[in-house]
A and B are shown apart, each in its own frame.
Chain A
């Protein structure tokens, strides 16, 4: 015997199946990524440049050098991260207390409770920068705070909680701009764990 309630549920199911069938007909192909990245037009690149230059990206990702008027960004290494040739000595050990981090003079090497981190090469160099990345990889990195959205966690001082607030369109524009700048071959060292060096064997 079928109760009124059951019969109502079956009617609702019939309606649901109709809706389902209509939606299924419009199913996109499998594996379709979220939104397609914006095409990199001149306007997109310009927007990306504006966002990069107003959001402090260069503060850490472009090495600082000493110029005639004091410290200034080394534009020959624009956004290429910690210089490969600059081997940093061991970071100073800070005493107990409220001081928590040390930074190299280039502003590209940072030491703190997370170990030592070096800022990344954001230029489109294929081997050492973002040359093989896609806009999806870039978005995923910023959204998740993980390398490529899948690998190790990004380390301080990268302000993930700030840049996570960019929209997808913002991130696509930033990525388009980063892909448009001169590629700099610069293999940034791997981060160093706190305490002893990373054991490799």
Chain B
């Protein structure tokens, strides 16, 4: 498989755990690494200068794949989670998981089969979340800490985010971890999700994490029935999932949200209510942003008319003063836009389908 080949050839760090080390030696090495990882929590210090020093390769690092992905200009992404030994995630609020201090997450971005950067989030002992990103060298043998102000890669085609940029999205949600949650790791994946992929071998999902005792307190109903978005149609489910993953981190109901009446984050505790809130904030809602050419009071979503909807207009634009999301992408997401376009045009069309269908 090309995926595995790439993993073997360019990711010695990730695959250190698979090297044929003698087991006791591996355990000692893992214990030392875990100690080193814990020790660095003691202070809110600058992140380590090399990715290899962040612990990506330690025992217990778990790959995962959210069912609804953030569009990153087509980059191929891989993600990992690590929890300190003996610690677990408190999921008693299933929409805002509480991660223990020491939690670490990585997301690798690869373009044309080569890793470009690996982003890193760590919850410090103080409870503060720290962000960093590591830029890979040309032969994929080492990744070094990017400047806090960000950087440019691939000859300007690729923007490595600044730490403020990290904070912009991750600091606007109820919890800064966006891809590890009940909806994103639901074992029942949305077959129509834009850019949806089957989980990779070894990926953990909601059930795995609960079974291993790494997620505790999750309401039992969410184990009995896998979390899913409430929607009238399969296309609507996928469209709301897309908006959840690409917009919901800023446009949500938490105290950290952007101060607009726009709620696109979906709840697993109250799926119907969150779906209704999303529709209410989209349909027929006047847009604060008024682009030239759409008249005096354009709507965020004009049912049946995607071309008159500010939502699709801004999704399709990459003009820096117009585009949504405002950062992290320079290329419109054709597949994601087509999905939302289809939803607005067909599923939300005021005529036949659903409004008159139910008495």
Contact = CB atoms under 8 A, between A and B. Distances in A.
B73 interface: no
B253 interface: no
Nearest to B97: A30
Given A150-B172, A153-B320, A192 B326 contact: no
A33 interface: yes
A200 B258 contact: no
A12 B39 contact: yes
B258 A150 contact: yes
A147 B320 CA distance: 12
A70 interface: no
A132 to B, nearest CB: 4
Interface stretch (B110-118, B138-146, B287-295): B287-295
Contact of B39 (A13, A153, A187): A13
B157 to A, nearest CB: 20
A198 B319 contact: yes
Measured as residues with beta carbon below 8 angstroms from the partner, the interface class of chain A is 35 or more
Interface in B106-165: 125-128, 164
A66 interface: no
Given A9-B32, A30-B127, A144 B168 contact: yes
A71 to B, nearest CB: 29
B250 interface: yes
Contacts of A189: 290
A201 B307 contact: yes
Residue of A29, A140, A143, A151 with highest tally of chain B CB at under 10 A = A151
Contacts of A152: 320-322, 326
Given A23-B41, A31-B176, A198-B321, A17 B35 contact: yes
Given A28-B127, A31-B96, A150-B172, A192 B39 contact: no
Contact of B260 (A12, A132, A153): A132
Contact of B259 (A20, A132, A199): A132
Given A16-B35, A143-B164, A150-B172, A27 B102 contact: no
Contacts of B128: 32
Interface residues of B, number: 48
A14 to B, nearest CB: 8
A160 to B, nearest CB: 12
Contact of A23 (B125, B255, B260): B125
Interface string A126-152: 010000111011001001101111111
Nearest to B256: A31
Contacts of B100: 24
B330 interface: no
B125 A20 contact: yes
Nearest to B259: A132
A146 B326 contact: yes
Given A10-B35, A200-B291, A137 B259 contact: yes
Interface string B272-309: 00000000000000001111111000000000000100
B42 A191 contact: no
A152 B319 CA distance: 10
A68 interface: no
B175 interface: yes
A197 B35 contact: no
Nearest to A128: B288
A200 B102 CA distance: 46
B313 interface: yes
B169 interface: yes
Contact of A148 (B255, B258, B290): B258
Given A13-B32, A150-B172, A190 B320 contact: no
B38 interface: yes
B287 to A, nearest CB: 11
Residue of A148, A153, A197 with highest tally of chain B CB at under 10 A = A148
Given A28-B127, A31-B256, A20 B172 contact: no
Given A23-B101, A134-B259, A13 B38 contact: yes
A84 B36 CA distance: 58
A31 B126 contact: no
17 contacts: A10-B32, A13-B32, A13-B36, A20-B42, A23-B101, A23-B125, A24-B100, A27-B125, A28-B126, A31-B255, A32-B128, A136-B256, A146-B164, A146-B327, A150-B258, A152-B321, A190-B291
Interface pairs A-B: 9 shortest CB-CB: A13-B35, A16-B39, A132-B259, A200-B293, A23-B125, A150-B168, A27-B127, A28-B127, A151-B326
